[in-house]
Structure 1
Amino acid sequence: MKIRLDRFADGKKKALTLSYDDGREYDRKLVEILNKAGIRGTFHLNSGLLGNQGYVERSEVRELYAGHEVSTHTATHPYLGLSPKERIADEILQDRRELEQLAEYPVKGLSYPHGSWDQRVIALLPSLGIEYARTTGIHGGFDVPKDFLLWDPTCHHRDMLKYGQLFLEFAPRHPTLALLYVWGHSYEFHNNQNWDQLEQFCGMVGGQPDIWYATNMEIVLYMKALHELRFSVSGLSVHNPSALSVWFSADGDAVQVKPGETVSLK
C-alpha cells in the first residue's frame, strides 16, 4: 500500500494563504474583499503603531480580523537583524502581549519587519513562543516550507495574477502538496490604484472546490499534525494523536483520521 502525506484539510491537495503587514487603514478594504471571496489570510501588526494616523484602531482588531489571523510584526517595526538580543525579545514579547489582549487568543506567528533577520533572531524565536516567521524573499513555487521560521512566500501580490493562474493550472506528475502564498501591504493597492487586481485575483482563485483557504498558522498546525501521524510497521493502521482531523492518501485515495482516532487501512 502506498501511503503519502499529500493531503491538506478536507483531503485537498492545494492550499492558499495570504499575508499582509503593518495594520494600515487599507486593511479594512482588503479584508472586505477577501471575505466576499472566502479567502483567508494573516495580518501581521505592530501594536505600538495601532491607532496612529493611517493605521487601524486597537478597538477594531478583534472584529476586523475575525476569520483571519492576527500575528506579530514586532511592537515598533525595528530591523531585527541589527538589534541586540534583548531588544529582539522585548519587541516580540511586547507585541504578542498587546495583540493577544486585542485578539483574545495566543499570537504565535511573526513576519520579519523590513525582512530583516539573522541566525541570532531565528535561534531566539522558539523561546519567545513563535512557531513560524515569514520572510520577504520569494521563491516562485508552490512548495510547503521545510523550515517554518524561514517561510518564503510564493510571490508579492504584484504578481498574484500570474501565480494565481499557474496555481490553478498546476498539475504535477507526482503526488505533492501545493501551497500558494501571497504577501504584501494593503497600502500598496491604494498607492498603486490597483484594487481591481486583487478583485480579479479573488474572482480567479476564490470558491475553488479543490483549494483549502487557510491562515498561516492553520497551515503550520496542520502540517505538524500531519507529520505526527503514527503508522504501524505494516502500514495497515494509523493513529492521530493530535487535536486536528488529518488527511493523507492510501493508494491514491484520501483517508481521514479524526483527533485521537486509530484507523485500520485493511
Structure 2
Amino acid sequence: MKVKFNYYPGGKRKALTMSYDDGQIFDRKLIEIFNKYGIKGTFNLNSGNFDREPFINSSEIKDLYKNHEVAVHSLNHPYLTLIPLEDLAEQILEDRKNLETLVGYQVRGMAYPFGDYNDILMKSLPSFGIEYSRTTISTRGFKLPNNFLEWHPTCHHNQDLIEKWKEFKNSNDKRQMLLFYVWGHSYEFNNHNNWNAIEEFCKMASSDESVWFATNIEIVDYINALKNLKFSVDRKIITNPSSIPVWIDVDGESVKINSGETVYFK
C-alpha cells in the first residue's frame, strides 16, 4: 500500500494564502475585498503603532480581522538582527501579548520586519512561541517550505500576479501539494492607485474550486497534522491524533482521516 501526503482539505491539491504587513488603515479596504471573494489573509501587525495615523485602532482589530489571522511583526518594526537579544525578546513577546489580548487567541506566526533575519534570529523564534515566519524573498514557485521559520513567498503582489496565477492554475503536478503565497502592504494599492488589480486577482482566484483558501497558520497546522499521523509498519493502520481532519493519498485515492480517528486498510 502506497501513502502520499499530497492533499489539502477536501482532497484539494492547491492552496492560496495571502500575507500583508504593518496594519495601516488601508487594511480595511483590502479585507473588504478579501471578504467579498472568500480569500483568507494573514495580517502581520506592529502593536506599538496602533491608535495613531496612518495605523489602525486597537479597538477595531478583533472585528476587522475576523475570519483572518493576526500575526507578529514586532512591537515597533526595527531591524531585528541589529538589536540586543533582550530587546528582541521584548519586540516579539510584547507584540504577541498585545495582539493576543485584542484578538482572543494564541498568536503563533510572524513576518520579519524589512524581511531582515539571520540564523540566530530564526532559531530563537520557537522560544518565543513563534511557529513560522515569512521572509520577503520571492521564489516565483509553488512549493511548500522546508522550514516554516524561513518561509519564502511565491511573489509580491506587484510581480506579475495575474500571469503567475495563470501559471499556478495550469500546473498539473499531482505528486505534491502546491501553494501560491502572495505578500505585500495594503498601502501600496493606495500609493499606486491599483486597487482594481487586487480585486481582479481575488475575483479570478475565488472562481477556482480546486484551491483551498487558507491563512498562514492554517497551512502550518494542516501540514503538521499530516506529519503527525501515526502508521503501522505495513501502513495499513493509520491514526490521526491531531485536532483537525486530514486527507491523504492511498494507492491513488483521496482518503479523509478525521480527528482522533484510526483507519484500517485491508
TM-score tier (shorter): over 0.9
The alignment yields a C-alpha RMSD, in angstroms, of 0.9
Q: Which moved more, 1:203-212 or 1:142-151?
A: 203-212
CA distance in 1, matches of 2:13, 2:225: 16
CA distance in 2, matches of 1:265, 1:215: 33
CA distance in 1, matches of 2:144, 2:21: 21
Q: CA deviation at 1:207?
A: 3.4
CA distance in 2, matches of 1:171, 1:135: 27
CA distance in 2, matches of 1:164, 1:52: 36
CA distance in 2, matches of 1:198, 1:189: 8
- Map of 2:57 onto structure 1: 57
Q: Please say if 1:168 is aligned against 2:169.
A: yes
Q: Which amino acid aligns with 1:69?
A: E
Matches within 5 A, 1:1-266: 1-159=1-159, 160-172=161-173, 174-266=174-266
State TM-score, norm by structure 1.
0.98
Q: Deviations over 1:140-187 (max 9, x none)?
A: 110011100000000000122122111111112x51100000000000
Helix, strand or coil at the partner of 2:47 = coil
- The count of aligned residue pairs is 265
CA distance in 2, matches of 1:142, 1:233: 32
CA distance in 1, matches of 2:207, 2:92: 35
Q: Deviations over 1:55-98 (max 9, x none)?
A: 11100000000000000100000000111111111100000010
Q: CA deviation at 1:265?
A: 2.3
Q: CA deviation at 1:119?
A: 1.5
Helix, strand or coil at the partner of 2:48 = coil
Helix, strand or coil at the partner of 1:48 = helix
- 4+ runs deviating over 2 angstroms: none
Q: Which amino acid aligns with 2:165?
A: G
CA distance in 2, matches of 1:165, 1:83: 42
Q: CA deviation at 1:25?
A: 0.5
Q: Deviations over 1:36-63 (max 9, x none)?
A: 1100010000000011111111000000
CA distance in 2, matches of 1:169, 1:242: 33
Q: CA deviation at 1:252?
A: 1.4
CA distance in 1, matches of 2:182, 2:164: 9
Q: CA deviation at 1:10?
A: 1.5
CA distance in 1, matches of 2:208, 2:66: 22
Q: Which amino acid aligns with 2:204?
A: M
CA distance in 1, matches of 2:12, 2:83: 41
Q: Which amino acid aligns with 2:250?
A: A
Structure 1: 5+ residue stretches without partners: none
Q: Which amino acid aligns with 1:77?
A: H
Structure 2: 5+ residue stretches without partners: none
